[in-house]
Each structure stands twice: as structure tokens, then as C-alpha cells.
Amino acid sequence: MKNGKLQIGFIGCGGIANQKHLPSLVKFPDLCELVAFCDILPERAKKAADKYGAPHAKTYTDYTEMLKDEKIDVVHVLTPNVMHSPMTVAALEAGKHVLCEKPMAHTYADAKKMLDASKKSGKKLTIGYQNRFRDEVIALRKAVDSGFLGDVYFAKAHAVRRRAVPTWGVFPNKALQGGGPLIDIGTHALDLTLWMMGNYKPASVSGSVFWKMADKFEANVFGPWDPKTFEVEDSAFGFIKMENGATIYLEAAWALNTTDAKEAATTLCGTEGGAEIKGGMGAPYRLVLNTTKYGKMIDEEIAGAGGVAYFEGRSGDPGTLEAEQWLKAVIHDTQPLVLPEQAIVVTQVLEAIYKSHEIHDIVRF
């Protein structure tokens, strides 16, 4: 640390860096300085450094060179999914704390390397699941912790868009991303659901993956795409059974002919009550709790503002809260909200859904 402030470097200065991480971190000048920016496009690194960096900030095109700077305390890995593991491991081995964007990795084996490197180095590792910081998610977590739902034995993880295929960057590139909506937005829905259930012991997974909409780009929110370069699935679905018998249904789609679009949302069914987060893709998020009282069925709604983070309708508060708690966790040597031991299970289940579809059978752990 320099002058009591964490010195932060960034690997990847593209969309998620500029939409979430950089504008959130500069809100805490008393806690950190943004001092190093690495990108394979030098002009992109320079633009980020000029806008968000400290006066002495440096730019790089080779992340291994950046990691040699002993003054850097923290590194944010903000690159395509397949690069998360090698870059995170290298940063941890260089003695840096790491926040890696979601998903943790595109395979369980790669995620395990990250977890092992964190334990061996003694440095903190967290994953960018900022949806845990939304207002209605925090309220639901309090309801769960209070025992309002009782034993949650069935849940649904929702990440369904009607027509919102991302057409920029490397999203359709399987070699760099490892998959489509399942690994992109399904990862958020599954993270929320597992976290609310407090259950990270999957027993088996059955999955179906579809490539049905690659050439059907009419009315897409983000404009048309080239079907020739659309290499990933357009939707995927999983049935997850936990060791204790609890069951989760996961749905993820960038393009699905449905009127019931939900993103980064969850439905929980417990012995004492239930809960559902509705909304996403421009629709305000809503938390609806249900139980029985006085011999009647009771619904209670807690309304939250905004739509899908970093696209429209959101103030960016979840990203800001994520940044603040992460910085304070490093400074005060406390646990970050998102633990790598939790995030690795998300990756394990997502990979199993792809595998189940490939082998036409159930994947058992």
C-alpha cells in the first residue's frame, strides 16, 4: 500500500472494466489508487488510464510485465472467460490479491487451480458476482437468515431473455468464452440461488443445451449479429439435485420465445414460506414473499428500482457496493462476500450441464 491506499492494476480494459470496475473504484479515492492498466490493445489501456488512472499510472500490453511491479497490491482480471484461470493464478503467485470477473473459470479444473493458488499464496480471491449487492437480494438474504422460508428444498434459477443476444466483444466466441448464456448470465442466477440456499453440495446434474436461434436475429435488443460467427448455445437448462435431496431448476437463454423474461433472479420454496425475485432486462426487480397467516395465504411485495445492471435502468450501486466491500476486505483482512469456495461450485455445475448434454446422460459427482 502507498499512503494507506491499495494500489490496483487491471488486466483487461474493455466493456466490463469501463462499465463496472473503473467507475466504481474511483469513488473510493481514500481507499485505493488505480495505477496499472493492461490490455492487448494499447490504445484501450491508455484510454482507461487517462480517464481513471492516478497521475503516475502505467500501461501495459503484457500482463506478466505488469505483475512484476511489486507496488501493486490488488489485480482485477477482466478478460474473456478462458483467460481467467491462468491470469488469476499468475497474479496470486506474484503476491497480489485478485478480484476475477464471473464466471470463476470455464472449467472446474481451471477454477480449482485458482482456488489452490489462493490458498498457497495466502492472498485473497473473490469473483465478480455483483448481483448479491442488489437491494432486493439483500432483503431476501435477510429473510432467509431469519428463518422466514424454513428449509428451502426446491428452487429455480432464472436467466432468460426473450431477445437480447450480446452482439459485441467475444460473447459469441466459444474458444474465448467457453459457452453462451449459460456461462454468461446463467452463472449469476445460479450463484444467487446457491447462496440463498446455503447449499454447495451438488450430487447430480442433468442438462439440455440448444442451438436453435443462431439465424433468428429479428428484433434483437442489441441489433443483428452474423450467424456465421455465432458459435455458442442460445439457451440451456439444467436439473440439479443436491446431496440432501434439494433440487434446483436452472434456465438460461439469450433468445427464447417467451413473455416471461427474468434475469439474475431466483425462486425459493421452503417449508415455512417462499420467495421470488422477478424482473430484469429493463423491468424493475421485485421481491415477493409468500407464506400463510390467520388461515390464509399471504403475499408480501418488496419493490426495488432499476433493471439489469450495466445495460439500462440501474444506478450502478451493486458494482459500487461490491468494490467497497472488496477494498475493505483486503485492507482489514476480512472475508469478501463472494468466496472462491462458493464460486467454484457454480462453475462445477455449469460445466456439468454442458457435459450432461454432450453425453446424453446424468453427470454424478
If one counts the domains in the chain, the total is 2
State residue 312's pLDDT score.
Answer: 42
CB contact at 8 A, 129 and 253: no
- The answer to whether position 335 is within a domain reads no
Residues 50 and 105 placed together within one structural domain of the fold = yes
State residue 303's pLDDT score.
Answer: 60
Structural domain boundaries, residue 315: 132-320+343-364
- The answer to whether position 329 is within a domain reads no
Residues 248 and 228 placed together within one structural domain of the fold = yes
Residues 33 and 49 placed together within one structural domain of the fold = yes
State residue 305's pLDDT score.
Answer: 46
- The answer to whether position 238 is within a domain reads yes
Give tens-digit pLDDT for 221-257.
Answer: 999 988 989 999 999 999 999 999 999 999 999 999 9
The CATH number for 237's domain is 3.30.360.10
Residues 67 and 136 placed together within one structural domain of the fold = no
Give tens-digit pLDDT for 9-28.
Answer: 999 999 999 999 999 999 99
Cis amide leading into 103 (omega within 30): yes
Q: What is the pLDDT of the chain when averaged over all its residues?
A: 94
Residues 155 and 277 placed together within one structural domain of the fold = yes
Distance, in Å, from the CA atom of 23 to the CA atom of 119, rounded to the nearest integer, reads 30
CB contact at 8 A, 114 and 93: no
CB contact at 8 A, 244 and 201: yes
How would you class 288 by CB atoms within 10 Å of its CB: exposed for 0-12, middle for 13-18, buried for 19 or more?
A: middle
Residues 115 and 161 placed together within one structural domain of the fold = no
Among 98, 129, 160, where does a domain finish?
A: 129
E strands, 21-130, in order? 32-38, 58-60, 74-77, 97-101, 125-128
The CATH number for 118's domain is 3.40.50.720
pLDDT value at 45 more than 70: yes
Report, as an integer, the average pLDDT of 144-148. Answer: 96
Report, as an integer, the average pLDDT of 154-173. Answer: 94
Give tens-digit pLDDT for 53-80.
Answer: 999 999 999 999 999 999 999 999 999 9
Cα angle 184, 177, 90; round to 5: 110
State residue 314's pLDDT score.
Answer: 42
Amino acid residing at 82: V
How is residue 18 annotated by DSSP? I
Residues 146 and 267 placed together within one structural domain of the fold = yes
CB atoms within 10 A of CB 294: 5
Residues 312 and 165 placed together within one structural domain of the fold = yes
Question: What nine digits make up the cell of 340?
Answer: 472462491
Give tens-digit pLDDT for 291-317.
Answer: 999 999 999 998 654 444 444 444 458
Distance, in Å, from the CA atom of 326 to the CA atom of 95, rounded to the nearest integer, reads 17
Residues 148 and 107 placed together within one structural domain of the fold = no
Report, as an integer, the average pLDDT of 325-330. Answer: 98
- The answer to whether position 295 is within a domain reads yes
Residues 191 and 306 placed together within one structural domain of the fold = yes
pLDDT value at 146 more than 60: yes
Residues 114 and 144 placed together within one structural domain of the fold = no
State residue 311's pLDDT score.
Answer: 44
Distance, in Å, from the CA atom of 18 to the CA atom of 349, rounded to the nearest integer, reads 29
- If we measure between CA atoms, which residue out of 325, 310, 309 comes closest to residue 28? 325
State residue 304's pLDDT score.
Answer: 55
